Amino acid sequence: MDIGTAAFIGTGLMGLPMAGNIMKAGYGLRVYSRTRSKAQPLADAGATWADTPADAASGADVVITMVSDTPDVRDVLLGENGVRAGAASGAIVIDMSTISPRATREMAAQLAEIGVIMLDAPVSGGVKGAIEGTLSIMVGGPVEALERARPVLETMGKNIVHCGDHGQGQMTKLCNQIAVANHMVAAAEAIVLARKAGLDVHAMIRAIGAGAAGSWAINVLGPKMADHDFAPGFMVKLLQKDLRLVLEAASELSVPLPGTAAVHQLYAALEAEGRGDEGTQALISVFERLAGLRD
């Protein structure tokens, strides 16, 4: 069955452009957000406002959620006036948030009881990728549901990978966040050493970014670190939430992650200063202070 109408729940920094790309592709869109004003650009472009998640899901072939944390997903899917109350049997729910793999499996089982199929499909690529429709999308759940939903996912991302059964998309995203966070430390340390040594930091970034040291942290966020541009593409507080999920999953599986645990504590230093809403590249400030530099 082809998908004609989508519902999108959660129109924050990432969700708004993602939903906009669905509309640009010609799909009908029903939209709900806790803060209605955040969805206004979509309504102005022709989306239908829904008063509740249940209302958004009513009549939608696919329902996409993009909210902050596990309790938020559980509330919009299974709470009073949640998606479960409005979705029809055969509908597909795609959660693109980053949440607990275990909770994802539990919610998928509850939705299956009413004939609704769930995919977990967290993303990587930041606000830039959301705007450009080039996100990497990590999908857990039935392959058949993924193939049915693929045309919608392709409006938002260019690298769509099936990672396994329910929860495995989320587990893949947690692996992604381990690499992202540790790369951020490497970039920050390299930039601080360059500053202390009197190098042209931007020249250093160009030099190493084209070689084996190249990464998103170096090439995209490195220049922002150098310029102290801490506007959020992805907020410190959200990465910290993700790292808590990583460490929780690692504990359940008896996997030691000493590097990731250390990064989590370094970011805690930023949170202690009330800087949780800044971009993750603000980590450079912690290393500058350790090195006797001032931001």
Give the active site residues.
Answer: 173
Interior CA angle at 238 toward 234 and 155, to 5°? 55
Distance CA 140, CA 131 (A): 23
Report helix, strand or coil for 33: coil
Distant-in-sequence, close-in-space partners of 171: CB < 8 Å, separation ≥ 6? 101, 140, 163, 164, 249
The pair phi, psi for residue 122, each rounded to 5°, is: -65, 160
Distance CA 120, CA 105 (A): 9
Distance CA 271, CA 246 (A): 18
One-letter amino acid at 172 equals: T
Listed residue (140, 139, 141, 170) closest to 249, CA to CA: 170
Residue carrying structure tokens 């996912």: 153
DSSP 211-253: TTT--HIIIIIHHHHHHT----SSBHHHHHHHHHHHHHHHHHT
Tell me, rounded to whole angstroms, the distance of Cα 83 from its chain centroid. Answer: 20
Q: How far is CA 171 from CA 109, 121, 217, in A?
A: 17, 10, 21
